[in-house]
Amino acid sequence: MIILVALLLIGGGIYWLTQRRARGNTKLAPVAAADPSALLAGAPAPPVGDPAQIVVSGLTKRYADVTAVDGLSFTVEAGRVTAFLGPNGAGKTTTLRVLLGLATPTAGDATIGGSRYCGLTRPIRRVGAVLEGSAAHRGRTGRDHLRIICRAGGVPLERADEVLALVGLTAAARRPFKAYSLGMRQRLGIAAALIGNPQVLILDEPANGLDPEGIRWLRDLLRGLADQGRTVLVSSHLLAEVQALADDVVIIAAGRLVAHGSVESVLDSRARPARTLVRTPEPDRLVAELGDGAVVTSAAGGGIYLSGVDPTEIGDAARRAGITVHQMTTVRPDLEDVFLQLTGGEASIR
């Protein structure tokens, strides 16, 4: 009997080691494009009114003698992707923490569908969030981490496998969290935010650690959710990606609002006029030929930016004077230009 038990234990140990090694060698399958319509199965019916609207009204948050957020007000509409932008230390994370009930406002309010987060019924069904990165027990598998969230939130356990597939982590579902890369941890955090099939998604720097394919996947996912009527609020420093994705933008600096509106309206109202980048071996002659109407600034690589004159005038002037032009490109302002213009020197520790 003792020999039989020993053999069973040895055999079981060999099997466990084999399975663990096999799981450890599992490679991630290619990430498929997200299908946002899959999220709508079993979605709760929205209450009367506009349940997904986020309203921040006169929000102020102080920590001792530091004012992290100062009289901040803005609205995030349903069915749109809103980018929440600001320099490091501008008060973005503090605002999101108040919105999610993790910090108490000193003054003002932040509500979702007219209620504070703590007043929501079954908040996992209403709001999904990724704040300050994804965290889980280092030894727990991604699947078990999500199943615990399902059980705590009263969501069927099968939902864990659904969101794992949605974020492209099915092949890594049984890996421990400590073996996940930064990008995989971000995907797991997004999966956790989607567990309850929420009406509102709040993400703080969700693209951190994602490769270009992952960023495109995230863009498609968020765009699809907004198109389905969900409210999406995203904090990010990837301004080119934000300009391609977002409908609206909220920009803050030093805890205060500096711009709010559609991306197009903010660009139109705040951006500098388009400039023309010119590279020529005779910039001084070209500027003299253009006259006093041309405003000149230096460009990297020996070129100059010309504003106050259009490209046709520049080309005609160069032709008349026999000046060689190697490059002439119209440079239109983008979200990065506006962001730096509005927030330059306004960051602080928050």
- Residue 5 pLDDT class (50, 70, 90 cuts): very low
- Residue 35 pLDDT class (50, 70, 90 cuts): low
Q: Which of 178-182, 194-198, 291-295 has the lowest mean pLDDT?
A: 291-295
Q: How far is CA 201 from CA 55, 133, 252, in A?
A: 14, 15, 20
Domains of the chain plus CATH, in order, are 36-269 (3.40.50.300), 273-332 (3.30.70.980)
- pLDDT tens-digit readout, 48-95: 444 589 999 999 999 999 999 999 999 999 999 999 999 999 999 999
CA pair distance 304, 328, nearest whole angstrom: 10
Burial of 130 (0-12, 13-18, 19+ CB in 10 A): buried
CA pair distance 32, 171, nearest whole angstrom: 12
Q: Is the pLDDT of residue 45 over 80?
A: no
Query: So what's the pLDDT on residue 172?
Result: 94
Query: pTM for this one?
Result: 0.77
Q: Is the pLDDT of residue 250 over 80?
A: yes
CB 202 within 8 A of CB 128: yes
Query: So what's the pLDDT on residue 134?
Result: 72
Q: How far is CA 207 from CA 32, 53, 133, 234, in A?
A: 17, 24, 10, 10
**pLDDT mean over 253-278:** 88
Q: Is the pLDDT of residue 16 over 50?
A: no
Q: Is the pLDDT of residue 3 over 70?
A: no
CA pair distance 77, 333, nearest whole angstrom: 26
Q: Which of 2-11, 32-41, 244-253 has the lowest mean pLDDT?
A: 2-11
Q: Please state, for a pLDDT cut of 70, what percent of the chain lies above it.
A: 83
Q: Is the pLDDT of residue 20 over 60?
A: no
- pLDDT tens-digit readout, 288-346: 999 888 999 888 888 999 988 989 999 999 999 999 999 999 887 789 888 988 887 55
